[in-house]
Every structure is written in structure tokens, then in C-alpha cells.
Structure 1
Amino acid sequence: MKYFKVDPQNPSQQVIEEAVAVLRRGGVIVYPTDTLYGLGIDATNPKAVHKLYLIKQRDPQIPVSLMVHSLDDIEQIAGMLPVDVYEQLKKLMPGKFTVLIEQKSKGILPVFEEYGVRPAGKNKIGFRIPDLPLCEKLAGAFGLPISTTSANISGKGNLRSVIDIIAHFGDKLDLIIDGGAVKSVKGSTIIDFTKKPLLVVREGDVPIKEVKERLNDPSIRKKKTRFDVLFVCSGNINRSVMAEGILKAMLARTRYKDIIQVHSAGTLYLPPSPAHEYTRKVCDENNISVNEHRSRHLTQHMVEEADVIIALAMDHKYFIEKKYPEFAEKVVLLKQWHHRKKIPLPSVADPMGYEIDFYRETFREIRNEIKRIMPYLLAEVKEFMDYHDLTLE
């Protein structure tokens, strides 16, 4: 195993040439990037690819990304980029990003398929152009894509120093370029450019807020694994509590129970309170327990995280749209949602102050409306799953 201590901002030509020689022989190198240390191999060499997966103990179905020298290299591998994508990439690269690009042509990477692996998954390739002179010189001198998977055992924590890397991999490595301890904790931010709007698959060293600012695109979304439904009423002790309990009970009998997350909140500022006595009793009568419920005031974080916000009455819908106008497209009215015509009484009346029979009628009304909208809700969930590449167990 060869070892070189370098300044990654100004590496010697000798170190670059030594690393290139090892890559051409099918060897494995360790090198610093602008985020973490990477394990590098010639991504066009099938034996080197196989060796990399063995060393990392990585599932062959889990992809690795590729380090290249320029955007032109990306086009040579994946095919011509749309003009808008090319311009967006220019704003990000070189930088602390991994970009997932649609593979339009087979290019120079058929060897991955021989081992049942792909560099980024089905019809996608992950690319990096690190903002570090050492990486720029190495990628330019080698001329072919180099793997840029983190130097650790798959699924384990990141290793930030060469000492730790040697302790884990030992003589399985052919050459080490020691650029000192890295400061990165999260690694690169991964952005999927095959999605519209763009999807941040992993929020690394660069937060999603900065990604939106750089690309001037507020529609960029963050990877999620659950579809978030938020019911809103006034005090979050009656109507929205019933709605939350009813939908959870309906979902418990379906395959979507682990995909859809249901919450409720109120527009009023109230101390955390249990559901109203009559609400608890009516729910109990229908085998739904809300005894552990405590009221919550609606917050911006809840609104941001929700995929759909279902208001129980018109005043709740207006409240949310006025206070959070940037999220108005998420807000729907339970009784009006997916009705072709406006209905005369679009709000679920507040049962507060009435006898228990009114609560029972409110419960039935909410349950019937949730049954009505369920096909439309599940259609949105399926779109959500396609967008986030999720599958049902």
C-alpha cells in the first residue's frame, strides 16, 4: 500500500500520476474530497467495481456515484443534458453536491450491469465534481469516471481521518492520499434532477434553503418517506380530533398505514388539552381511542411538513391561507374537496356547546366525508410514492 501526505489545495504532480497508475491497474485508492474521503476505482473496470463492493460490504443494488472532471464528461456518460438542467448544474458545480441525472445512453458504463449494480440506480447516474484542486487534477488526469463513494463500511458511520480509514480497510487499499482530517459531517447534498420539481434526496453539508437560493427555485422539495395529512379545526379538541381518529382507523386496515401519517391541530392558542368529553365518548362508541390526545396549536413547521392540509370549516381554510400564503395550494376544505359544484354548507359545524347527539352527528358527517375523499387521497399518495421512489411492503 502506497501512502502520500498532501496539501489537497496544491497536490504534487507525482501524487496524481501515482494515483492514476493505480486506478489504471484496477486498484483502489482513498482520496479527500470537499466533503468526506472517497474510495476511488476505475468505474469502467468490472473487476475494480466488484472489488469496491466487496471492500465496502455493499449491497449490489445500492448505487455509487461517480467523480468526473466537467459537465461535458457528464454528457459523454449520460447523454446530452437539457439546456435548463445544464444551466442549473453550472450554478452548483464544482461543489458539495451529488446530482442524479437521467441516463439516456448506455455510454461507457455497461460493466456495472455485469455485476448487477448500477452507479446510481435505475435509469439514473449520480455525479460529483468536488470543489477541490486535488479532485479536479485527479479526474482530469485519469480521464474516466472515478467512483466517489464514502470511505466507510456500507451503512456505518463516516470516517473523517486516514487513521480511521486504515484501521477499517487495512491492506485492502492500494494507495492512500492523506489530505488531513475532513470537517464535513453530512457529506454531499444529493439532488435528483430527474424529478420535477427537483428533489433533494439527502440534505448534506449544503442545506435545502441554500439550494433553493442558488437555483432561484422555491419549489424544490426534500425527500420524504411518509405522506403527511393534517386536519385543522379551531381548538383541536373536537372536529379535527374526530377526523384524525377516523382516518387512522380506516388506514389501519390498508397497505398504506405505514406510508400515510395523520395529525391534527387547531388555529386557536390553547394550552395542551385533552379531547372534549363528548368527543372521547363518541369516538369510543366507534372503537376509536383518542384518550391520549392533547391539543396542538398550528405552527409553520406543521404547515411546511404537511402534504395536504384538510380544513374542517371555511374559517380554518381562510386562516391558513392568509397566515401562510406560500402554502395555500396545500389547503383543502373537507366537504368541498373534489366536489365538482360548490355545496351550500361547506363547513362541518362546531359541536362545542351542544349535547352529545350533535357530536354523534358531527362524527357521522366527518366519517362520511372521509370515506368520500379516500379514493382521491390515495391517488395523491400514489403520486407521492412515485415521486419519492417509494413502494408498499
Structure 2
Amino acid sequence: MLIRKITRRNPSPEVVEEAISVMEGGGIVIYPTDTIYGLGVNALDEDAVRRLFRVKGRPPHKPVSICVSGVDEIPRFSRPSRHAMDLMKRILPGPYTLILERNELIPDVITGGSSRVGIRVPDDEVCRLITARFPVTATSANISGKPPSPGIEEILRDLDGVDLVLDAGECQSMEPSTVIDLTVNPPRVLRRGKGPLDTIL
């Protein structure tokens, strides 16, 4: 396992490219987001996603969300309504996970066989650069069922089998993203987390 220091602003292009290369090869990367640390693989690589589930100890029927680099990427992997797109353009990038109808590019292993997928566009430069090549899994960097930790040292006490760690220091907030179901109108909040709701509901 490799650990690379990275800054959230103006991150090293070499370190970002190393993370992308690891994931292109089926590897697992711990990476910073605008909420907590994420556990990332190429979300289109089914074998890598299955390996992530084993490392995290996550039951295979439980879906994981994905990160993409921008709002314009969301229709590549889902079927958002016009209303949903308008809302997402107002609140993203930001600490929200949006539930949308998936399309055929998203493998069943990501959604647990569901017709829906959770999508994030974090307000984090490292995250956006990594996901510019392909969507990346957006699940917290912890063993399934345990609370997430703010720092890399604590995370690695539990997690084994990770290939690369991008260490951006301790998380300033341990609030997870707010999860909003955009397959219904009006939108429905499924989990309250970081991020205001006054522009959504």
C-alpha cells in the first residue's frame, strides 16, 4: 500500500494521475471528498467493485453511490428529469447524493440490482480531477457498519487491502452527504447530512 500526501487546493497532477492509474488497474484508493474520506474504484469495473465490497465487508445487496466530475456527466449514467437537472445545477457541486434512475452503463453490482443509482459531484478539487476519467465509487472509507474516522491513521487500523491512500489531512466535518431522492416530485430527503435544504424543498 502506498500513501501519498495531497493538498485539497491545487493538488499534485502526478499524485492525481497515480490514483487514476491505480483504479484503471482495478485497484482501490482512499480519497478525500467534501465530506468524509471515500473508498474508490472505477465504478464501471465490476471486478474492482466486488473487491471493494470484500475489503469493506459490505453485503452485496447494498448499493454504493458513484462520484462524477460535473453535473453535465450525470446524464451519461442516469435518466434525470428536466426538473431534477435544474435542481442539480443549483446545488452541485456540493455535499449531496442524488438518487436517480440508472441507465445501462451502470453495472448491477453498483446498485445491488436496483433500477436506481446514487450520484455525487463533491465540491472537492481532488475528487473532480480523479473522476474526470471515469466514475468512481463514493462509499465511506470504513468497514461496513462502523462509523467513519476523520484521519487516515484511524481509517487504516480497520481497512486492509487498499492499494493507494491520498492523505489530505483530517476531515474538518464528519457529516456525511445529504441523500435526496429525485425520482419523485417533490424530491424526498432520505438522509439528512451536510448541506442546506432550503433551496431544495
Pairwise mapping of residues 7-46 of structure 1 onto structure 2 (< 5 A)?
7-46=7-46
Q: Tell me the distance in 2 between the aligned counterparts of 1:120 and 1:7.
A: 34
Contact 1:3 1:175 in 2 (8 A): yes
Partner residue of 1:369? none
Give yes or no for the alignment of 1:119 onto 2:111.
yes
Residue identity opposite 1:86 in structure 2: M
Pairwise mapping of residues 115-194 of structure 1 onto structure 2 (< 5 A)?
117-119=109-111, 122-140=114-132, 143-170=133-160, 172-194=161-183
Note the alpha carbon deviations across 1:12-61, whole angstroms, 9 max, x for none.
10001100100000000000100000000011111101100001111111
Pairwise mapping of residues 153-302 of structure 1 onto structure 2 (< 5 A)?
153-170=143-160, 172-206=161-195, 210-211=196-197, 213-215=198-200, 217=201
| TM-aligned CA distance change 1:48 to 1:135, over 3 Å | same
Note the alpha carbon deviations across 1:145-204, whole angstroms, 9 max, x for none.
10010000111111110001111124x110000000002222100001012321111101
Residue identity opposite 1:66 in structure 2: I
Contact 1:33 1:130 in 2 (8 A): yes
Q: Tell me the distance in 2 between the aligned counterparts of 1:121 and 1:73.
A: 22
SS at 1:39's partner residue?
Answer: strand
Residue identity opposite 2:106 in structure 1: L
Residue identity opposite 1:17 in structure 2: E
Residue identity opposite 2:146 in structure 1: K
Note the alpha carbon deviations across 1:282-310, whole angstroms, 9 max, x for none.
xxxxxxxxxxxxxxxxxxxxxxxxxxxxx
Q: Tell me the distance in 2 between the aligned counterparts of 1:167 and 1:44.
A: 28
Whose helix proportion is higher, 1 or 2? 1
The structure, 1 or 2, with the larger RCO (C-alpha pairs under 8 Å, 6+ apart) is 2
Q: Tell me the distance in 2 between the aligned counterparts of 1:121 and 1:96.
A: 25
Contact 2:148 2:155 in 1 (8 A): no
Aligned length: 201
Q: Report the Cα offset of residue 73 of structure 1.
A: 1.6
Partner residue of 1:243? none
TM-score (norm 1): 0.50
Q: Tell me the distance in 2 between the aligned counterparts of 1:16 and 1:161.
A: 19
Q: Report the Cα offset of residue 133 of structure 1.
A: 1.0
SS at 2:38's partner residue?
Answer: strand
Contact 1:65 1:120 in 2 (8 A): no
Task: Tell which structure's C-alpha radius of gyration is larger.
Answer: 1
Q: Tell me the distance in 2 between the aligned counterparts of 1:88 and 1:174.
A: 36
SS at 2:53's partner residue?
Answer: helix
Pairwise mapping of residues 29-108 of structure 1 onto structure 2 (< 5 A)?
29-79=29-79, 81-103=80-102, 105-106=103-104, 108=105
Q: Tell me the distance in 1 between the aligned counterparts of 2:127 and 2:32.
A: 8
Q: Tell me the distance in 2 between the aligned counterparts of 1:21 and 1:120.
A: 26
Q: Tell me the distance in 2 between the aligned counterparts of 1:69 and 1:44.
A: 15
Percent of pairs with identical residues: 35
| TM-aligned CA distance change 1:186 to 1:120, over 3 Å | farther
Structure 1 runs (4+) deviating above 6 angstroms are: none
Cα RMSD (Å) of the superposition? 1.4
Contact 1:61 1:118 in 2 (8 A): no
Residue identity opposite 2:89 in structure 1: K
Q: Tell me the distance in 2 between the aligned counterparts of 1:174 and 1:119.
A: 24
Q: Tell me the distance in 2 between the aligned counterparts of 1:24 and 1:200.
A: 34
TM-score (norm 2): 0.95
